[in-house]
Structure 1
Amino acid sequence: MYLTVESLEKRYGHHDPSVSDLSFSLSQGELLGILGPSGCGKTTTLRMISGLVPITSGKIFVAGREVSNLPTYRRNMGVMFQSYALFPHLTIAENIAFGLEMRKLSRAEIGRRVADALAMVQLKAVGERKPRELSGGQQQRVALARALVIEPDILLLDEPLSNLDAKLRDDMRNEIRDIQKRLQMTTVFVTHDQTEAMAICDRIVVMNRGRLEQIGTPLEIYEKPATPMVADFVGRINRLAGTWRTDGALMLGDAVVRGNASGTAGTDAVVMVRPHRITMLAADETPAAGPGRNRLAGVVRDVTFVGDTLQYKVEAAGGLVAVEKTTTSAGNRFNPGDAVSLVWRFDDTLTFPGEVAG
């Protein structure tokens, strides 16, 4: 593995640790996302890897060499901050050249690398401008070029897209991924946006309250979440209150459903299913033939039109169920007060021990 983090911990004074017992590794050329809610410790983790924040305990290795206690300038890591942190009094070319000048490269080498970096981020024509003369997306590209021009061993990105509007954010995340792939640059990408993480990362570390909840590919994180927190954070999902039966099925009120696991009879369970995996039928309609499916009776309480989807809220056993249906799909549209059946596959039912939070 190219970057390895072992039992990393960061503690401030006598407070609970900001990061605790965190371990993960990534291969050379891999893009790893660190995903989680605000305050979960993801930015602190990135700053410990870069050397900007000293670790309390644990170890960090790059290509087999321990860098845990090395200063930032000796780790050869490129960092791109959320705020971009460009020097307003310097030109774009001078901003990009700053790290190279600190490394005392020759004028010719600096000029060559800056020109290559500007070309890579499609900003060849703006080298003599100041940051205030550029758009937010252009400033973001400058910050990326400055991080890459030093030819780092590892690229660290701290929520680099959060200041951009939605359309530009989509464009820039694709551009970052294209450059990262082309350079085969080992990269750690911190974000609270699960869509960004799912779209561009090879694997994702999900953090919560300073600890690792799960690490896996985007597909594994989405389809096989290890905890209710991961299931809830990565995509929309319903949480229903159930109770285990002796045969491994669950009771949701008077309804029986089956899921991906079993538990101790008589104990509480959290039953989770994603809204777009649920088919909604009229109460007397027969579902199409197929693999094993759960069926739950309910009553529509609310309908919201959201662009290309209709979002329903259905009162059913176990709680209020969200259902999403495309506006172009064939079949009925339902109204508040309609009696309906909710149908979904056994395989789409995630089950965890414990009670549904109030």
Structure 2
Amino acid sequence: MQIRAAVLERSGNDGPFATTLPLTLTTLELDPPGPGELLVRIEAAGLCHSDLSVINGNRVRPMPMALGHEAVATVVSTGDRQDTLFAVGDRVVLTFLPACGECVPCASGEAYLCARAAAANGAGELLRGGRRLHRDGDAVHHHLGVSAFADHAVIDRRSAVKIDADIPVEIAALFGCAVLTGAGAVFNSAALRPGEGVAIYGLGGVGLAALIGSLAGGATPVVAIDPSPQKRALGLELGAAGTFAPDGAESQIETLLGGKPDIVIETVGKASVLEQAYALTRRGGRVVTVGLPNPMERFAISPTGLVGDNKTIIGSYLGASIPARDIPRYIALWRSGRMPVERLLSSVSPLAKINTLFDILARGDAVRQVVIPHLEET
């Protein structure tokens, strides 16, 4: 079938993207789903810094590539005649880390480190191999097994988690990456204990998801650092005990808390910020980093201090999440009002505005923007 998708022809693009137009809305040929795959209609897709890092070249991926990885969709058809888990009409959240179920990480309960999925994502292929997107006879690469900036997609069934259809699509999409990564960093990676103090660097979609996750998990107090006055104000509205501009934040936080926090979560994706996060963490505390800086960046710490202070540095990919387990949990917390995920939503736009929306994201002027591929531009 023919679909419309936002395709990135090359990486390393400079802004303003509304002028340079790195993403082109183009017609692609989409193969039907094979065994273990689903054809889905994309209902909504969120813009994430992981998409931006492919556009600007910080994350090297094969080109051309149909971007987008955080989305909610409806099942149109299945590649298996009798799929026991999914049926036509099911609403599903898409996630960018399918799990083969057979490699050592999968067998060890760490499916978010699935070796086959990582290899497929790096090659721009689906989990079972190959690409289902084509243009003029040439293959177009998948982005993280999803390619959600399109009206339809073929995905591996293990990239989908079934949800109830009554959740507004612009909210449901956010559970696929922002919420899994941010809340997962709190619950899975940091293993938050009620009453612990948490500090968060960065109040984008992931940082705010970490904030509301920390509060839902009983952290007290929760503080955050971000240069945007609007995001700091939103953090306070959501229940943070304090939010601070970067300059002088650490001393202000220590004054407010009467010491250093137990857990510090870094979502910015800069090595220099990770160093600040490490310094802010109390002795014996945990530093969790979910940001993805340029691969050439390095951070420096004192090995003697690491040992003497007994701190733990934890890398957290997708919040160390098991999507089929964690998405229903976070949706339940949202339904109960304990995790107001809807407050992360900045705007809803048609797919045609995708380049302009990435300018807004690059400037830090939005938390989570969502595109609706079937929404016509007005």
- Work out whether the TM-score is over 0.5: no
Higher relative contact order (CA 8 A, sep 6+): 2
> TM-score, normalised to structure 1's length?
0.26
> TM-score, normalised to structure 2's length?
0.26
Higher share in helix: 2
Higher share in strand: 1
Larger Rg over CA atoms? 1
